[in-house]
DNA sequence: AAAGCAGACAACCGCAAACTC
DNA sequence: GGAGTTTGCGGTTGTCTGCTT
């Protein structure tokens, strides 16, 4: 059985939002709060699908949004966070109060990409363009013909280990690795501190959303990793009392890792 | 003045995670 | 445990605006 459509497409508006639609959405959320996007359009008298309402609210109507141009500091922070997190726009947005993932994604594609290219830096790898080319050549050469003979299980294990190794080398939790990343991002403070769940986590808990106080490994897509200590109850318990522990890449701590604790020095 | 083009950004779409029953 | 539902994310597209020719 296929997935049910998110909305009744025949009876929904598409395209740009009108002032009246905006007003209706704002008024509804002011009196009822966020949540249950599926039923919101009908309840608010909007001919839009829930997804569209959510996007409009999050990206444009939310009162805490910071409109206007990005500052030079924000530019540099986005570049640094992108070099660490890749295209995890929602995580990057979480570090820039008042900015949305969509806004940052657009800004990246229209401004920062070009800026990095002008500097001779590959916006994907954050390495000098010529260095990137070398790396690609090496990669091409390194795959030999003997791979077929390798046991599949070993291959999978190696792949997992390699993935983990790459994450470790990028995300800095051991002394040597830290030195390396600090060379890449000298003014980014990667000290991890424990703090109560940030508003996104709290909202997610209320609405049963995806980002329940996950450990860092889970947020990086390593749910099956042996370094992941996050289980289905973790988010709930940690958000309720802030005392559950996590253990990622040798770093043990109580509470939930808060991406907002990555701060500029 | 108008056509063509490029940049900027709002909005849409498909997918997958997380949840409910 | 599995099917169906809801929500959020990231990639992509559509449209508006300003500039150039």
CA of A25 to C1' of B8 (A): 25
Q: Is residue A117 in a domain? A: yes
Residue A37 reports pLDDT greater than 80: yes
In three-state secondary structure terms, A244 is coil
Mean pLDDT (chain A) is 61
Residues A77, A123: one domain? yes
CA of A144 to C1' of B16 (A): 34
Question: Residue A94 maps to which CATH number?
Answer: 1.10.10.60
Q: Is residue A25 in a domain? A: yes
Residues A44, A78: one domain? no
pLDDT band for position A104 (cuts 50, 70, 90): very high
Q: Is residue A241 in a domain? A: no
Residue at the smallest CA–C1' distance to nucleotide B19: A208
CA dist A34 and A44 (Å) reads 12
| Parent domain of A41 | 19-61
Residue A102 reports pLDDT greater than 70: yes
Q: Measuring from the CA of residue A51 to each C1' atom, give the nucleotide at the shortest distance.
A: C7
Q: Decide which of A128, A152, A175 is a domain's last residue.
A: A128
Given the DSSP bridges, would you call strands A188-189 and A263-264 parallel, antiparallel or unpaired? antiparallel
CA dist A173 and A161 (Å) reads 16
The CA-based dihedral angle spanning residues A228, A231, A233, A235, taken in that order and rounded to the nearest 10 degrees? 40
How many domains, chain A? 2
Q: Is residue A98 in a domain? A: yes
Tell me, yes or no, if the pTM score tops 0.75. no
């Amino acid at each position: 059985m296929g997935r049910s459509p998110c909305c009744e497409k025949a009876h929904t508006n598409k395209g740009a939002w009108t002032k009246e639609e905006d007003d209706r959405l704002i008024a509804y959320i002011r009196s009822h709060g966020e949540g249950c996007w599926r039923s919101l359009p009908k309840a608010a008298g909007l001919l839009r699908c829930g997804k569209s309402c959510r996007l409009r609210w999050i990206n444009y109507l939310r009162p805490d949004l910071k409109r206007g141009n990005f500052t030079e500091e924000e530019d540099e922070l986005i570049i640094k966070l992108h070099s660490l997190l890749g295209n995890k726009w929602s995580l990057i947005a979480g570090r820039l109060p008042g900015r949305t993932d969509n806004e940052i994604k657009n800004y990246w594609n229209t401004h920062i990409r070009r800026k990095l290219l002008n500097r001779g830096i590959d916006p994907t790898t954050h390495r000098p363009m010529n260095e990137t080319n070398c790396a690609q050549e090496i990669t091409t050469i390194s795959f030999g013909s003997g791979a077929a003979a390798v046991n599949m299980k070993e291959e999978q294990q190696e792949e997992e280990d390699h993935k983990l190794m790459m994450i470790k080398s990028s995300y800095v939790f051991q002394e040597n690795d830290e030195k390396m990343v600090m060379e890449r991002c000298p003014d980014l403070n990667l000290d991890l501190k424990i703090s109560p769940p940030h508003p996104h986590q709290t909202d997610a808990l209320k609405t049963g959303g995806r980002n329940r106080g996950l450990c860092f490994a889970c947020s990086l897509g390593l749910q099956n990793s042996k370094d992941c200590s996050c289980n289905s109850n973790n988010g709930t318990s940690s958000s309720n009392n802030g005392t559950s522990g996590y253990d990622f890449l040798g770093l043990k701590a109580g509470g939930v890792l808060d991406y907002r604790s990555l701060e500029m020095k």
